[in-house]
Amino acid sequence: MIDVARIRNDFPILSRRVNGKPLVYLDNAATTQKPNAVIDALTHYYRNTNANIHRGVHTLAAEAERDYDAARAKVARFINAPQESSVIFTRNTTEAVNLAAYGWAREFLKPGDEIIVTVMEHHSNYVPWQLVMQDTGATLKIVDIADDGTLRLDEYAKLITPRTRLVCVTHASNVLGTVNPVRQMADLAHKVDAKILVDGAQAAPHMPVDVQGLDCDFYAFSAHKMLGPTGIGVLYGKDEVLRTMRPFLAGGDMIREVKRDTSSWNVLPYKYEAGTPNIADTIAFGTAIDYLNGVGMPEVRAHEIEITRYVLDTLSHFRGLTIYGPRDAAARGGTVSFNLDGIHPHDLGTVLDHAGIAIRAGHHCAQPLMRRLGCVATARASFYLYNTREEVDALAEALREAQALFKRTGTPQKTGIS
């Protein structure tokens, strides 16, 4: 078991108060808090080694480049990539998916080709494929969920045809918590020679990830959801796929030679990293990975299952509370969406904030899923390695108070897309 009390000491923000109450931070699916080591890595870089990389001959440039390259090596090991050059740095998951959409899909898809997505995708892994569809003439097919929030694998198997060229699926849902059977899906996709892109934004931070074991062609994720800074993310791609793609952004660093009318491209990964990269945040991302490795990803996952089980058990005692997503904590992530009868999730979020509890309310950038669930919005509590059972108890207590408050005042539930 991990030592949560010791871990909490590493996160300065967790000791602050909000509205006179100790902060209970349950919005980790949106972004996570940062340990001292990550904050220190940022300031250390700017105080000691700030320089541009891949062009300087001086000591600072060499040190900055060494630390930047070391971060790439850490990311590659973290996801078991076969080589460092398969790790492309982007701004975030969104940019990583768009890199695949521009570099691969727009280059290779033709009218009549099919892209399969799921109804539980975040807009970042949905809207880019709508645009690809418009630009290439490919069509979009959508895999439904079962009523327990798991993906309809039977339906997925039926949607796959010889015209399927790409499957886009989230590894773990940011609303339902569902962890999808990515390897099984990859095997079916590869049988018809399709590629599979996995959105790992809600999985890479929470469980050991092995991109070779998953056999995915692309894997996208963001540092800020795994203790790292904002502004840095990753697109992992299989070497043979990355080699064939067209550059997405053009400019400095990504070229080998520029002639009057044409250019040739730099080697991987630089072919897809035009311009001065986000050096400081990348180095601090490496520090976040060191931190997670220090705790141990199997331990992070075990803690998440334990606390999710406690949350699901606690919430199941509430009358008028609907939980969305699988009930088996071992088969899901620590993101728990719910609605309380008669209270709009935004009102609930505001009441909880008065108690110092940060949750998210809204459609969670998953409007197709909201429509499928038959609601316009949900409340969502999402957990990470520093969350405690006491915080779950504080959430339950605040929910009870909210129920009592709204029973007294009888505020009707608002409607409309939030």
**Residues recognised as catalytic:** 365
Cβ-based nearer residue to ligand 7TS, 32 or 164: 32
Judge whether 117 and 125 are in contact, CB under 8 Å: yes
222 binds ligand 7TS (CB under 6 A): yes
The binder of ligand 7TS chosen from 28, 33, 49, 93 (CB under 6 A): 93
Cβ-based nearer residue to ligand 7TS, 25 or 406: 25
Cβ-based nearer residue to ligand 7TS, 188 or 201: 201
Q: Which long-range contacts (CB under 8 A, 24 or more apart) does 182-186 make?
A: 182/214, 182/216, 183/213, 183/214, 183/215, 184/153, 185/153, 185/156, 186/214, 186/215, 186/216
378-382/335-340 β-pairing: antiparallel
Judge whether 301 and 207 are in contact, CB under 8 Å: yes
Token pair for 119 = 């109804």
124 binds ligand 7TS (CB under 6 A): yes
98 binds ligand 7TS (CB under 6 A): no
The site that binds ligand 7TS (CB under 6 A) totals a number of residues, namely 17
Task: Enumerate residues 17-56 that contact ligand 7TS by CB under 6 A.
Answer: 29-30
Q: How far is the CB of 357 from ligand 7TS (least distance, A)?
A: 16
Produce one character per residue of 170-187: b if its CB has 16 or more CB atoms within 10 Å, e if not: bbbbbbbbbbbebeebbe
178 binds ligand 7TS (CB under 6 A): no
358 binds ligand 7TS (CB under 6 A): no
Q: Who contacts 309 (Cβ-Cβ below 8 Å, separation ≥6)?
A: 329, 330
Token pair for 291 = 């931190």
Packing angle of the helix pair 279-295, 36-44 (nearest 10 deg): 150
Q: What are phi and psi of 13, to 5 degrees?
A: -65, -25
For ligand 7TS, which stretch binds (CB under 6 A), given 104-112, 189-197, 199-207, 401-409?
A: 199-207
201 binds ligand 7TS (CB under 6 A): yes
Q: How far is the CB of 225 from ligand 7TS (least distance, A)?
A: 6
For ligand 7TS, which stretch binds (CB under 6 A), given 37-45, 58-66, 87-95, 346-354?
A: 87-95
92 binds ligand 7TS (CB under 6 A): yes
- Which strand (E) or helix (H) includes residue 42? helix 36-44
Binding footprint of ligand 7TS on the chain (CB under 6 A): 29-30, 92-94, 122, 124-125, 170, 174, 199, 201-202, 222, 360, 364-365
